[in-house]
Amino acid sequence: MNDLPDEPTEEETADAPEGEETETCSDAEPGDASEETPQATADDGGEATATVARRLLIAGNWKMNAGGFDGTELATAVANAVADYDDVEVVVGPPATALAAVTDAIRQAKADVGVAGQNMHAEESGAFTGEISAAMLKMCGCQWVILGHSERRTLFGEDDETVAAKTHAAFNAGLAPIVCVGETLEQREAKQTLEIVSTQIAAVLDELLEFSGMGVIAYEPVWAIGTGLTASPEDAQAVHAAIRKQLHQRHPELAETTRILYGGSVKPQNAEGLLAQPDIDGALVGGASLKNESFSKIVEIASKLAQQAKTD
């Protein structure tokens, strides 16, 4: 829907850091975005301009699909298909019912693929029927958890406070959160995109700073999720640059080390344009992550870009 979003454009785009290079670091631990010392200058008026080494991250959000043996099969296929792309960090996010089996399948395939829960409760344990804790995700072999997805926010009433509490609990348990933010169509049309996104991020900034470099942000415009509509690379970049700036204002190192993924109808056909943007450090992929062919193709595209960035 390239004619849809006309916001943000002007000053936010102007704020986009220029000349940033995204390089890769191949041996980083899950959630460890950078092997290099961040070099942003503290007194540059809020711009994140330094050389960065954020490893591209492609994460699949399977949502309420592939929760049984089909999930194990998908994970095995992905693990085998992405084995050669070690300059890209790959994560799959199965439903809770398949987490343990998926981590086992990945272990058997000897693959460097991370596993993410799609949600968790902020409390460690207790009388919360149907819920799972961060420690339980860890026990299933997860290194990651997706938090604050727009479907959780809109369908299950999660607000910024809940997302912040979950983010805090995830970090404390040693899980790397992928915190999702994004505006609705109504909010975009009312030109509230940056206000909405910055409020959502402000709620987790302290947590992100405390565990700097471990947390990931996913910018997912709600109108682009599962609709086949995507933000143009330029529009997505403008929001990502504004997010980077907000992180930088909190702490330069936070801006340098935090990966900001784009999500919303990412598929092989549009991945390259999005992933080539300087402030887009990867993708959170829904529908296209349910088929090994499309998901591993996106990983391949990311790997090609990572290789190019190395030689540039």
Site residues for ligand PGA per CB under 6 A: 61, 220, 225-226, 263-266, 284-288
Amino acid (one-letter) located at 175: L
Q: Show the CA angle centred on residue 34, arms to residues 115 and 250, nearest 5°.
A: 100
Please identify, using beta-carbon distances, which residue of 230 and 257 lies nearer to ligand PGA: 230
Q: From the CB of 9, what's the least distance to ligand PGA, in Å? A: 23
Q: From the CB of 153, what's the least distance to ligand PGA, in Å? A: 11
Q: From the CB of 63, what's the least distance to ligand PGA, in Å? A: 7
3-class DSSP assignment, residue 100: helix
Amino acid (one-letter) located at 310: K
Report the run of H or E that residue 219 belongs to, with start and end.
Answer: strand 216-219
Give me the residue label for tokens 């598929």: 267
Q: Show the CA angle centred on residue 292, arms to residues 290 and 294, nearest 5°.
A: 80
Q: From the CB of 29, what's the least distance to ligand PGA, in Å? A: 23
Q: Which residue has the CB atom at the shortest distance from ligand PGA?
A: 286
Which is catalytic among the residues 47, 220, 256, 300? Answer: 220
Please identify, using beta-carbon distances, which residue of 62 and 171 lies nearer to ligand PGA: 62
- With beta carbons less than 8 A apart as the criterion, state whether 21 and 309 touch: yes
Annotation marks residue 220 as catalytic: yes
Q: Which two tokens stand for residue 148?
A: 């604050």
Helices (H), 23-142: 69-81, 99-108, 134-139
Which is catalytic among the residues 149, 168, 240, 251? Answer: 149
Active site residues: 149, 220
